[in-house]
Amino acid sequence: MKKIFSAVFVAALAIGSSLGAIQADAKEWKKVRIGVEGAYPPFSEVTADGKLVGFDIDIANALCDQMKVECELVTQDWDGIIPALQARKYDAIVASMSITPERKEKVDFTNKYYNTPAKFVRKKGSSIEITKDGLKGKTVGVQRATIHDNFVTEVYGDEVEVKRYGTQDEAYLDMVAGRLDLLLADSVAIQGGFLDTDDGKAYEFVGPDFSDPKYFGDGAGIALRKGEDDLREMFNQAIEAIRANGKYKAIQDKYFDFDVYGS
């Protein structure tokens, strides 16, 4: 019995020592650098005087406040946003990045902080319908290297010409210029960034919501480098906290008249 007790005691000490070592190795975060796009209204954009604004920006700042860390926002073009994270240009990405299996191979994600569907947009009065026959020969604009790019290429690539853009705003400009028949993007981004503007008044949504997790993931999450579990857990706890204390709803209501978090 004494030998069994001694063995258990030694094992407990070993586990305690291991846990202590893990805790000692955990980084104490006092400053978090966050990568943002700055070209995806109403989630993130740069004003004429150079100020970053938008839902993503307010959420990032609210999470830093909740975590009691200094927050530095770093703008980065979408095409290079994950490589720049891996190169340690910043510590996390808050840029409406959908949580997909493909991206999970490169980065870790927090829980979602919002979830909205994708939709097509056409010119008002257009007879275009979202079917394989209806899309045949049409040109669709998407932001390059996004879930919308992947979806339209895989599902409708045989029917349409896909034109890819570095920013969503570039796609809007080509739509107004008559170079595109359709746009595909996040429904909230395209509503606030295009349809609600003067340039977008002649355009409308067409077809169903698209939210199949196979293509569109499980909502937008915060991306981090692989293995930085301490920071990921800090963000997860902060997301829960601002949802509970009303700060999330205050930010949401500033931009949207519906529940952007989703079910």
Mean pLDDT of the 222-242 span: 98
At residue 27 the predicted structure's pLDDT band, cuts being 50, 70 and 90, is: confident
SS3 45: strand
More confident site: 82 or 9: 82
In tens, the pLDDT along 33-70 reads: 999 999 999 999 999 999 999 999 999 999 999 999 99
Cα separation, 153 vs 130, whole angstroms? 14
Residue 120 pLDDT > 60:
yes
Residue 248 pLDDT > 60:
yes
Residue 4 pLDDT > 80:
no
Residue 80 pLDDT > 80:
yes
pTM above 0.95, yes or no: no
Nearest Cα residue to 39 out of 89, 65, 68, 78: 78
**What architecture is domain 27-115+218-255?**
3-Layer(aba) Sandwich (3.40)
Under DSSP, the state recorded for 198 is G
For residue 84, the model assigns a pLDDT of 98
Contact assessment for residue 114 and residue 42, using Cβ atoms and an 8 Å cutoff: no
Residue 17 pLDDT > 60:
no
For residue 137, the model assigns a pLDDT of 98
Residue 5 pLDDT > 50:
no
> Can you tell me which residue has the tokens 């943002």?
36
What does pLDDT average to over the chain?
A: 92
In tens, the pLDDT along 137-171 reads: 999 999 999 999 999 999 999 999 999 999 999 99
In tens, the pLDDT along 191-226 reads: 999 999 999 999 999 999 999 999 999 999 999 999
118-216, CATH topology level: D-Maltodextrin-Binding Protein; domain 2 (3.40.190)
Share of the chain above pLDDT 70, in %: 90
Q: Tell me the domain boundaries of the chain.
A: 27-115+218-255, 118-216
Sheet holding 139-143, edge to edge: 161-165, 139-143, 182-186, 118-123, 203-210
Matching CATH topology for 27-115+218-255 and 118-216? yes
What is 199-240 written as a DSSP string?
Answer: GGTTEEEEEEEE--HHHHTTSEEEEE-TT-HHHHHHHHHHHH
